[in-house]
């Protein structure tokens, strides 16, 4: 009966993950996958010979209660932080399981099992500490970029060698010492922190999906150690989907994963090439309202600035006013806009924007030349024409939204700062581009008021 429940939960988990690939079925997929995990946990509690039921129930109650409370109160703008934390906790759990298995390992335990346990522990610990660092960066509790003054990548390489060396030594031992295992786990945690600390905000979506893949892989490996097929399938499916998403995100930035990890965009000024020509031209909310009111087609391009300001509801209100005035409205989403994969899609969905009005980069780019006004809300690097024209630019070759090809561009941004890549945005200096400074929520509110006054 337990094996049958595991099998049914595995099938339901895969079906739930498949349903999450489409916005309209995502909620159903979440419920299906959640029910499958609940069934798997229930089956595990009834496994013959299992001990410490009280501690398991207490752990589930405390962890589940904390997660429910956090999920209910988290703001949509803080969703990347929550995703990072949950990724890390899964990896940390896998690492803890591996450590427990190694502590209780007997000499006759196959070396293959011990080696897999070590590998799962390393991957899980790296996912845990890396996710904690990512959370701290996103939360503003840690410097955006930190790396050793010299030889940071060498330190990462040396820590990797030491981690696996100590881990495999412990695995080959007939009775691994607890101090040796503590050193092993400590080195693995340090490795995750060293890998993630230099990563700037521009690369954060890739890093979060990468750590998610690590968590899934660690869970799958520990499922093999525990001979639990449910954990193996669930972990490998999550690991595989996370890996695929990581490479898709890296491709969207035209940055191989090795460069994201070992040559990150630090956010420090790195212009390269000639200085940007032209001047910044400012619009008032009144000017912006007039231009939008008499346009035929408008494309909104949201970015992290919209998330910070929580302006998605105002943006949708503005879009609805324009549609009532006969203006065609669409939304363009860059794959790496925001701080995690799908960040902008989640915010727009929360505001009630219909799915058929939201388009990905490949679907919308051809429409910009026929667009009267493109409204950029807090985005920067993903609309920078330097990615197409400036070979010396750190973001050269990255696919961007062709906002500069619209007849007029209105950019709403908090100030005159640069994007996370640390370079000036050539778009802002184009003759047909005007900037409206201020928090996106306040600016959009004023534009709405002016638009209503126009009638």
Say if residues 183 and 249 touch (Cβ distance below 8 Å): no
381 annotated active-site = yes
Sign (positive or negative) of CA dihedral 34, 35, 37, 41: positive
| Distance in angstroms (rounded) separating the CA atoms of residues 113 and 102 | 10
CB atoms within 10 A of CB 193: 17
Q: Of the listed 381, 404, 431, 441, which one is catalytic?
A: 381
- Helices 152-172 & 111-138 angle (0-180, nearest 10): 150
| Distance in angstroms (rounded) separating the CA atoms of residues 219 and 297 | 48
- Helices 23-45 & 2-19 angle (0-180, nearest 10): 160
Q: What is the 3-state secondary structure (H, E, C) of the chain?
A: CHHHHHHHHHHHHHHHHHHCCCHHHHHHHHHHHHHHHHHHHHHHHCCCCCCCHHHHHHHHHHHHHHHHHHHHHCCHHHHHHHHHHHHHHHHHHHHHHHHHHHHCCCCCCCHHHHHHHHHHHHHHHHHHHHHHHHHHHHCCCCCCCCCCCCCHHHHHHHHHHHHHHHHHHHHHCCCCCHHHHHHHHHHHHHHHHHHHCCCCHHHHHHHHHHHHHHHHHHHHHHHHHCCCHHHHHHHHHHHHHHHHHHHHHHHHCCCCHHHHHHCCCCCCCCCCCCCCCCCCCECCHHHHHHHHHCCCEEEEEECHHHHHHCCHHHHHHHHHHHHHCCCEEEEEECCCCCCCCCHHHHHHHHHCCCHHHEEEHHHHHHHHHHCCEEEEECCCHHHCCHHHHCCCCCCCCCCCCCHHHCCEEEEEECCCCCCCCCCCCHHHHCCCEEEEECCHHHHHHHHHHHHHHHC
Q: What is the largest CA-CA distance in the chain?
A: 82
Which of 260, 244, 155, 154 minimizes the C-alpha distance to 201?
260
Q: What amino acid positions are annotated as catalytic residues?
A: 381
């Amino acid at each position: 009966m337990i094996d049958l429940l595991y099998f049914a939960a595995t099938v339901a988990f895969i079906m739930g993950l498949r349903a999450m690939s489409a916005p309209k079925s995502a909620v159903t997929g979440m419920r299906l996958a959640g029910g499958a995990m609940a069934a798997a946990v229930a089956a595990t509690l009834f496994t013959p010979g299992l001990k410490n039921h009280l501690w398991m129930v207490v752990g589930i109650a405390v962890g589940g209660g904390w997660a429910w409370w956090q999920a209910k109160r988290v703001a949509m703008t803080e969703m990347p932080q929550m995703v990072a934390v949950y990724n890390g906790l899964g990896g940390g759990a896998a690492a803890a399981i591996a450590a427990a298995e190694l502590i209780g390992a007997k000499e006759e335990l196959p070396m293959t099992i011990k080696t897999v346990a070590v590998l799962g522990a390393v991957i899980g610990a790296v996912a845990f500490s890396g996710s904690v660092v990512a959370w701290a960066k996103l939360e503003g509790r840690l410097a955006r970029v930190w790396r050793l003054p010299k030889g940071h990548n060498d330190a990462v390489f040396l820590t990797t060698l030491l981690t696996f060396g100590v881990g495999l030594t412990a695995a080959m031992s007939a009775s691994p010492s607890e101090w040796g295992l503590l050193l092993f786990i400590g080195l693995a945690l340090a490795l995750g922190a060293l890998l993630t600390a230099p990563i700037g905000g521009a690369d954060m979506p890739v890093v979060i999906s990468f750590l998610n893949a690590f968590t899934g892989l660690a869970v799958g490996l520990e499922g093999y150690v525990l001979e639990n097929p449910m954990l193996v399938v669930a972990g490998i499916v999550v690991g595989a989907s996370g890996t695929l998403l990581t490479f898709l995100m890296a491709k969207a930035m035209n940055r191989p994963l090795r460069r994201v990890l070992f040559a990150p965009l630090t956010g420090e000024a790195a212009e390269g090439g000639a200085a940007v020509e032209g001047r910044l031209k400012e619009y008032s909310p009144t000017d912006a309202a007039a231009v939008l009111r008499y346009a035929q087609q408008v494309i909104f391009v949201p970015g992290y600035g919209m998330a910070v300001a929580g302006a998605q509801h105002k943006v949708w209100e503005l879009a609805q006013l324009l549609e009532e005035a006969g203006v065609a409205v669409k939304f363009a989403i860059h794959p790496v806009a925001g701080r995690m994969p799908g960040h902008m899609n989640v915010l727009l969905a929360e505001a009630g924007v219909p799915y058929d009005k939201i388009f990905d980069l490949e679907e919308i780019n051809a429409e910009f030349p026929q667009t009267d006004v493109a409204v950029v809300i807090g985005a920067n690097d993903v609309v920078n024409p330097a990615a197409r024209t400036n070979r010396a630019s750190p973001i050269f070759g990255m696919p961007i939204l062709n906002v500069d090809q619209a007849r007029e561009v209105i950019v709403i941004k908090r100030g005159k700062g640069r994007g996370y890549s640390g370079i000036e945005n050539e778009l802002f200096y184009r003759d047909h581009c005007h900037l409206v400074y201020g928090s996106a929520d306040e600016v959009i509110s004023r534009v709405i008021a002016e638009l209503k006054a126009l009638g």
